[in-house]
Homo-oligomer: A and B are copies of this chain.
Amino acid sequence: MRLQYRNLDKTKAFATLKKLSTRLPSLKELLTPRRIASCSIPAAGGLTYNCAAKLVTNEVLNALRQLAREQQLIAKYKDLYNGGIANRGENRMVLHHLTRGRLGKDVFHDGKNLRTFYKGQLRKIRAFCGKVHAGEIRGSTGKRFRTVVQIGIGGSDLGPRALYLALDQYARERKLLRMQARFISNVDPDDTNGVLAGVDLETTLFILVSKSGTTQETLANERLVKAKMASARIRGMNPDKHMIAVTSETSPLAKSSRKKGGMPAFFIDDFIGGRYSSTSAVGGAVLSLAFGPDVFAEILAGAHEADELAREPNLLKNAALMDALIGVWERNFLRHPTTAVLPYSQALLRFPAHLQQLDMESNGKSVNINNRRLAYSTGPIVFGEPGTNGQHSFYQLLHQGTDVVPLQFVGFRKAQTRCDIDVEGSTSQTKLDANLAAQVVAFATGKKDKNRNKSFAGERPSSLIYGETLTPRALGALLAHFENKVMFQGFIWNINSFDQEGVQLGKVLTKEVLAGAADKRLAAYAAMLGVPQTNVST
């Protein structure tokens, strides 16, 4: 199929959807038990996506189906994983799907089979983990490694951190936790000092993660960590023997790693975007060290299953596609600028922060793939916290505020840990799930009261992803579900979801400030914040 790239507002479905958005039924009335039963889409990893409580009629669904066809969503996905230049501005392929499995053709770059390359890195990681876990590779003072600390920021931090936290209790309960993991990200020295205050340097292995090998924050933190190790004055301590790297083969980090010899570097390449790198060596090293390579393999299997399902052209069988289309419906036609992710699972406490990056960095764009300014809204603002915590916090606004926030609930029938007790007739897990069920209905249907302050308008749409328990496989599927959703939305909006030019200006101006800013506005702010302005004559 020849791919065509057109803006959303040039599709026929756009006009249809616009018309439909002016004559909608009430969600209260739409949400019948029958609809709830019929709106479940089986997703990967044993998960199910249910969109009964979304304001989507059959007519809307038909128009969304047409939109999917017009924007050639499945064909563009296939083109992407088969090695099309989906990141056009940077002239790059987009191959994170290949880190977990092959969906289509072999993909080559400079004669190298990339699936083989990514798999090869994971094999190297597996072998390395084996030696670390067996005590064959040890710290420089002869002690076994007990802790792994990832030093990375953005994509090298949020995804792996969210996944680690998501499986920490799961692994502990099942005696799978091999090493505890910690994360240093911020260039704020308090972050590094705080993390180091809680670990034993002799038994700690650091992973330096930077694709380019030039990330300012990460390199500064590497040096700070090494300085702390040197100043600890531990006999025999050799910081280089406590530091491995995940980077690209051509980066300065890879070179310096080779020079020093000894500790390995694991590689990714330009076709794995930072925010899509959790299933590459970026997540692979830290998660395999923490939980063992088999747990990481399960995450990959769940993600791959989700990737396979995402090829399904039938909307009613493709949860990521449905989710993407409903998101665009809510953003561009119902005109809701934000969306909240609300996992009823404490293990997913940092998953919303990862999705915030994934979504907002991918689709927070104002130009189409040909760099023309768009006349419609793109990626929404994403935020969220676990339930039930959020219920006692910002849900007040979600229920009774003046704006509507579409919601994405996530929940599991069973907890990861087994210890639970009955209090007043129900376990904690049952209470958790009862709260979740109650919220979906409360948001949709509301409740009238003579006292308007106790009245709930309802009409607040949500969808629910649920499963049996948050296993590594379910977690991988959940991760890939959202990655694929965001990708489909990028196709619909006709934008490049895989670059991030919006981060560049800050970098340039930071350098100016550090060099002693010539721009007097920069200098003024720098002075307030105590940044030495040596080059400035005032």
Contact = CB atoms under 8 A, between A and B. Distances in A.
A107 interface: no
A37 interface: yes
Contacts of A398: 364, 502
A224 B502 contact: no
A158 interface: yes
A51 to B, nearest CB: 13
Contacts of A440: 525
User: Taking each of A89, A503, A510, which has the highest tally of chain B beta carbons within 10 Å of its own beta carbon?
Assistant: A510
Residue of A191, A503, A504, A505 ringed by the most chain B CB atoms within 10 A? A505
Contacts of A442: 505-506, 509
B36 A346 contact: no
A453 B367 contact: yes
Given A190-B417, A338-B338, A365-B453, 20 more contacts: A37-B524, A154-B389, A187-B432, A217-B431, A275-B393, A337-B337, A353-B385, A356-B383, A357-B393, A361-B396, A365-B396, A367-B453, A382-B394, A396-B500, A430-B532, A434-B514, A437-B513, A438-B510, A441-B509, A456-B505
Interface string A499-538: 1111111111110111001011111111011111000000
A392 B155 contact: yes
Interface stretch (A64-72, A420-428, A477-485): A420-428
Interface string A182-196: 000111111111100
Nearest to A170: B190
30 contacts: A155-B392, A169-B193, A172-B194, A188-B432, A190-B417, A216-B431, A223-B421, A223-B423, A224-B419, A231-B419, A338-B338, A353-B385, A360-B393, A360-B396, A364-B400, A376-B402, A378-B402, A379-B401, A381-B383, A382-B394, A391-B506, A395-B502, A396-B502, A398-B502, A431-B510, A436-B529, A437-B513, A438-B508, A438-B509, A466-B528
A197 interface: yes
Of A194, A405, A451, A508, which is in contact with the most chain B CB atoms at under 10 Å from its CB? A194
B394 A364 contact: yes
A250 to B, nearest CB: 21
Interface string A154-195: 110110000000001100110000000000011111111110
Contacts of A508: 438
A219 interface: yes
Contacts of A366: 400-402, 457
Given A37-B524, A395-B503, A425-B514, A383 B386 contact: no
Interface string A26-52: 000001110011001000000010100
- Most interface-central of A371, A402, A440 (chain B CB within 10 A): A402
Given A217-B388, A500-B396, A521 B431 contact: no
A194 B220 contact: no
A370 B346 CA distance: 38
